[in-house]
Amino acid sequence: MSNRVLVLYASTHGHTAKIADRIGAVLREQGVHARVRRLDEHTPRLEPEEFDGFVVGASVHAGHHQHRAIAWIAEHRTTLDRHPSAFFSVSLTAADDTDEARDVTRQLIDDVLDETGWTPRLTQAFAGALQFKEYNFATRVVMRLMAKRIEHQTDRPVDVHEDTDYTDWDAVERFALAVAASLRPTEVPS
Ligand SMILES: Cc1cc2nc3c(=O)[nH]c(=O)nc-3n(C[C@H](O)[C@H](O)[C@H](O)COP(=O)(O)O)c2cc1C
């Protein structure tokens, strides 16, 4: 089994980090050597050649995934395409269970793949979180408006002094298990 997997993520307020950590933990439970790394200005240069599989995650802010993640994928696309790889997107649109929202979520992922030319084996959207404890004043003002919309869509009240987590953690585990399965060589019938 190809066993060394890099789980690399970009996260502005820390929620994608939690999802990446959970994916890493499930992979380790499956016997995979998973290394979880945040992609930021302090990230030392990573050598993709050291890994047999890749999971890249990013969150959506103002209609786009973090540029840092897009740039890393584009730079390493050839290596990514040679190995099992997966992309996960974290957004609040994914918390909205309507066809229209699902189209937007799908388009957000397609934009990443179009921009980078990457063809990961697996893609997945996860609903993110409202993290009022992390926001500065300006972000809080913007996010109060988004919270109103989400309250309406989800029928779930939002406390603007607390964090609200919309992530389906069972879906995160299922995704991690699918990643682990994608690393196993397919058996050729004899
Ligand atoms: C300033 C700001 C802008 C955002 N813009 C969008 C957006 O355009 N579409 C969306 O679906 N979610 C949007 N979100 C929600 C984030 O994707 C969500 O909060 C996610 O959990 C953030 O993950 P992170 O903490 O890893 O960055 C926005 C959040 C913030 C704070």
State yes or no: pLDDT of 1 exceeds 60.
Answer: no
130 Cα–ligand 1 center, Å: 8
Q: Look at 190 and 72; give whichever has higher pLDDT.
A: 72
Task: Please work out whether the CB of residue 179 comes within 6 Å of at least one atom of ligand 1.
Answer: no
pLDDT at residue 104, as a whole number: 97
How far is 170 from 93, CA to CA, in rounded Å? Answer: 18
pLDDT at residue 136, as a whole number: 95
Contact residues for 9 (Cβ-Cβ < 8 A; gap 6+): 16, 17, 19, 20, 36, 37, 38, 39, 56, 57, 58, 69
State yes or no: pLDDT of 188 exceeds 70.
Answer: no
CATH of the domain spanning 4-128+168-183, picked from 3.40.50.360, 3.30.70.1710, 3.40.50.12160, 3.40.980.10: 3.40.50.360
Task: Please work out whether the CB of residue 158 comes within 6 Å of at least one atom of ligand 1.
Answer: no
Query: pTM for the full model?
Result: 0.94
128, 16 in Cβ contact below 8 A? yes
| Closest atom of ligand 1 to CA, residue 105 | 11
What are 46-97's pLDDT values in tens digits? 788 889 999 999 999 999 999 999 999 999 999 999 999 999 999 999 999 8
| CATH 3.40.50.360, the chain: domain bounds | 4-128+168-183
How far is 130 from 66, CA to CA, in rounded Å? Answer: 17
22, 71 in Cβ contact below 8 A? no
State yes or no: pLDDT of 153 exceeds 70.
Answer: yes
Mutate which of 91, 163, 165 to test ligand 1's pocket (most atoms within 8 Å of Cβ)?
91
Written as one letter, the residue type at 11 is: S
Q: What backbone torsions phi and psi does residue 62 show, to the nearest 5 degrees?
A: 50, 45
Mean pLDDT of the chain: 93
